[in-house]
Amino acid sequence: MKIIELKYRTLIYLFLVGLISCIVPDNIKQHKEIVNLSTKVISSDTVKAYFGWWVYGEGQHIFKDELTLAEYDLIFPNENMEELAELYVSVCEMEYFPMECQMTGILSGSILSVQEFEILYIQGCGE
């Protein structure tokens, strides 16, 4: 009786191993296709310079485009956000004060991912 149970367990084990070996390569192939598609989407986005006003307040960074007057949420993937907020407040001396900037980055929907930025003029300060 034990020999028969052992044979069934072995057959079930071999069946499961065979089944898993068929499923896993398909999942890996699909994952690679998804990664390739996402890479193509990222590479199709172009880094571009945008001119307008950077406004910071209550933890949110916003950019108002000079040409379209559209507003975008800013993300700074290469910057420390606490230091960036401190920089903004030290330059403008208060929150919600527009700072004219050139933002270089990738626009994706309503989010501008900033790679580099340059402060051009601080509104109202004459600097």
Together in a domain, 113 and 73: yes
Ranges of residues in the chain with a pLDDT under 50 are 24, 26-44, 127
Type and span of the H or E element at 82 = helix 81-92
What are φ and ψ of residue 84, in 5° steps?
-65, -40
Together in a domain, 16 and 70: no
pLDDT one-digit tens code per residue, 28-37: 444 444 444 4
Q: What residues form DSSP beta bridges with 50? A: 103
Write down the pLDDT at residue 123: 57
For the four alpha carbons of 65, 112, 54 and 59, in that order, the dihedral sign comes to positive
- Say whether 15 sits in a helix, a strand or coil: helix
Write down the pLDDT at residue 10: 66
pTM over 0.75: no
Together in a domain, 35 and 60: no
Write down the pLDDT at residue 35: 44
Together in a domain, 24 and 72: no
127 found inside a domain: no
CATH, residue 81:
2.40.50
Q: How many residues comprise the chain?
A: 127
